[in-house]
Structure 1
Amino acid sequence: MTEQIRIARVEALGQDPVVLRHPAPRSADGKVLVRMRAGALNFADLLKAKGQYQEPQDAPFVAGLEGAGEVIDAPSSSGLSVGDRVAVSFPGTLAEVIAVPSVACHVIPDRMSFEQAAGFLVAYGTSHLALTMRAGLREGETLAVLGAAGGVGLTAVEIGHALGARVIGIARGPERLETVRAAGAADVIDSTNCPDLKSALRELGGVDVVYDPVGDTAGLQAFGALRRGGRFLVIGFAGGKPSALPLNHALVKNIAIHGFYWGGYRQLDPQAIRTSVDDLLRMFENGRLAPVAGQVLPLERLSEAYQLLRSRKSVGKIVITM
């Protein structure tokens, strides 16, 4: 008899996923079966459910873009063994058992919990590749991180600090700013009490790199604080729309604008992802990174988790346990 598992499925675009029972996937050629222990939510999950993600998918589909669990079956060519603990980045991770390509799996250290690993790949991978490969962040430079208390922003603060940069974290509210400071920010700015972010950043000496997962007015104001030769990383648009960046200023000040989508590197440069994740896991092993699961909720409270994600009030990643 086929095992019945729980999955979180988006039944129609414009709706949040619902938890239901479904037959478990079976072993397939070249695929690795993973019993998932935890999954993490990203802002992209909201966009995907609305049909607005850059890689759209017709409903119905299983939600989730990353998670962690144990290998329960793997082809010999995969290099994985039954019992391996892995972090997974692949569409459809909010299910108790999934079948994925071996390249989507990364063996995690013994001391990394499933809750930590569930939200590690996308957020840390995005920040590490964007800051090192695209922006070329150097020791001693100043990095401004918008949305610094969010799932991806907090990792940019932590990685920027680990790389030797001076980090300025911008977030909403004193509690969230305390988390940002604890992650390594030398200076913090409360965006709820800052009508002129450009001036605030300039008063702190200006910045060399802006990490922007927010967009809209905040991104535009941070752009204005870039020094000559600065780099602007376009990570996302949690603020609702892209920033209208003045390209004439980019020209005059020799500013580079880099769009960055981590998932796109699966086709663009998959080895870059593998190398970056290996570097990140070494940083974790060496105690230079300390992933924090902001809110941990069981699968049956998924609707609450989506509401929390939508409110943008969470600190760090929202993790769903299975």
Structure 2
Amino acid sequence: MKAVVCKTWGTPDTLEVIELPDLTPGAGEVAIAVKAAGVNFPDFLIIQNKYQFKPELPFTPGSELSGIVYAVGEGVKHIKTGDKVIAFIGQGAFAQQVLAPANAVIPMPEGMDFDIAAAITLTYGTSHHAVVDRAQLKADETMLVLGAAGGVGLAAIEIGKAIGAKVIAAASTDEKLDICRQHGADMTINYSNTDLREAIKNATGGKGPDVIYDPVGGIYAEPAFRSIAWRGRYLVVGFANGEIPKLPLNLALLKGASLVGVFWGEFAKREPKANMAAMSEMIGWLREGKIKPHISARYALNETANALNDIAARKVTGKVVIQPER
């Protein structure tokens, strides 16, 4: 089988596609023929040794996938050969085959395609944990989403609307904002040609958003936080801008506001039952048409570097996937 391998820390162009032996599951494992693997911004950071999760070299990147089980190990009861499944693992998804712990594997819902299935765990898991669990967004509240056209941003919009809240999407181009509106955003802000604070003030009638979802960081964090409503919750999701902002903490005091950290990977590891309950709720929303991952591009295994570079350059809207059999 073929797999993408990171042999040394570096940029996506240092990755190699090599031939490896077929995989055989051990006790408690399942072997999956990968049909699609979701690509995420942390994958770009991990191969450079710039992320919280630091695998040992060499390794195959990629953490979320969908596929068909071709073998099961001893003791596995809820999954069988031939099942279509979704899996979230620490590494290994950018390959034609992968081994996954059985407790990290769930059956694919009837009628779901492989690309959608590979795109739901990390981005939607992160955004559900952020919006529902950490922020506890309510139906009568307003949420501002920064970097709203990215994978987690679009997921946050859809989850906010599934709850019944008002959602304001902020992104850097009108084209990206069009996609945000297609996924349910009530109002939009182009922060590349508009004063962000003034735009937020106008969009909220001077009250400010109750929740701010920020996967970007950088220069937009402070003006957004200065605009937050009384008792607002500012979700620290990530730093796609590349710059970790330094916020004056007196702003939290003056607004009675909270800075709330969001680390879905650690949440999923520490609170697996809560994470599975969240996944079940989202699969229900998916069946009802309340959420639908936006797949903007598909890449072959030997195009993995292109996929990662496009994500890093913020050329991507929604999700992109690797299709190892192409």
TM range (shorter): over 0.9
How far did 1:252 drift?
2.7
- Residue 25 (structure 1) aligns with: 23
Determine the C-alpha separation between the residues in 2 that align with 1:320 and 1:138. Answer: 35
Q: Deviations over 1:127-166 (max 9, x none)?
A: 1111111000000211000110111111101111111111
C-alpha separation between the residues in 2 aligned to 1:140 and 1:201? 17
Residue 225 of structure 2 contacts residue 251 of structure 2 at CA under 8 Å; is this kept in 1?
no
Instruction: Say whether 1:248 aligns with 2:250.
Output: yes
SS of residue matched to 1:233: strand
Aligned partners of 1:232 and 1:256 also within 8 Å: yes
Residues in 2 aligned to 1:237 and 1:78: alpha-carbon distance in whole angstroms: 40
The question of whether the paired residues in 1 share the 8 Å contact of 2:33 and 2:97 is answered with yes
Contact 1:30 1:78 in 2 (8 A): no
SS at match of 1:20: strand
Alpha-carbon shift at residue 303 of structure 1 (Å): 2.1
* Aligned partner of 1:296 among 274, 295, 298: 298
Q: Give the one of 52, 55, 63 matched to 1:54.
A: 52
Q: CA deviation at 1:78?
A: 4.2
TM-score of the superposition, structure 1-length normalised?
A: 0.95
Matched residue SS, 2:297:
strand
Structure 1: distance between partners of 2:103 and 2:163 = 27
Equivalent in the alignment of 1:282 = 284
After TM superposition, where is structure 1 displaced by more than 4 Å over at least 4 residues in a row?
A: none
Q: Distance in 2 between matches of 1:219 and 1:272?
A: 29
Q: Secondary structure at the match of 1:35?
A: strand
**Is the contact between residue 108 and residue 281 of structure 1 (CA under 8 Å) also seen in structure 2?**
no
2:3–2:19: 8 Å Cα contact kept in structure 1?
A: yes
The C-alpha deviation readout for 1:99-134, integer Å capped at 9, x for no partner, is: 111121121212111111111100001111111110
Matching residue of 1:130: 130
Structure 1 match to 2:168: 168
In 2, Cα distance between equivalents of 1:160 and 1:102: 31
Spell out the pairing of 1:177-256 with structure 2 (5 A cutoff). Answer: 177-194=177-194, 196-205=195-204, 206-256=208-258
Q: Which residue of 2 is the match for residue 66 of structure 1?
A: 64
User: Secondary structure of 2:20's partner?
Assistant: strand
Q: Deviations over 1:52-81 (max 9, x none)?
A: 111112321101111111111224444112
Distance 1:213 1:100 in 2: 28
Give me the TM-score of the superposition, normalised by structure 2: 0.94
| Root mean square deviation of aligned Cα | 1.2
Equivalent residues, number: 317
Q: Distance in 2 between matches of 1:49 and 1:121?
A: 20
Query: How far off its partner does 1:236 sit?
Result: 0.2
SS at match of 2:47: helix
In structure 2, how many angstroms separate the alpha carbons of the residues matched to 1:262 and 1:227?
A: 25
- The alignment partner of 1:227 has SS state of coil
Whichever structure has more strand as a proportion of its residues is 1
CA distance in 2, matches of 1:112, 1:261: 27
Q: Structure 1: how far apart are the matches of 2:269 and 2:292?
A: 29
Q: Retained in 1: the 8 A contact 2:293–2:319? A: no
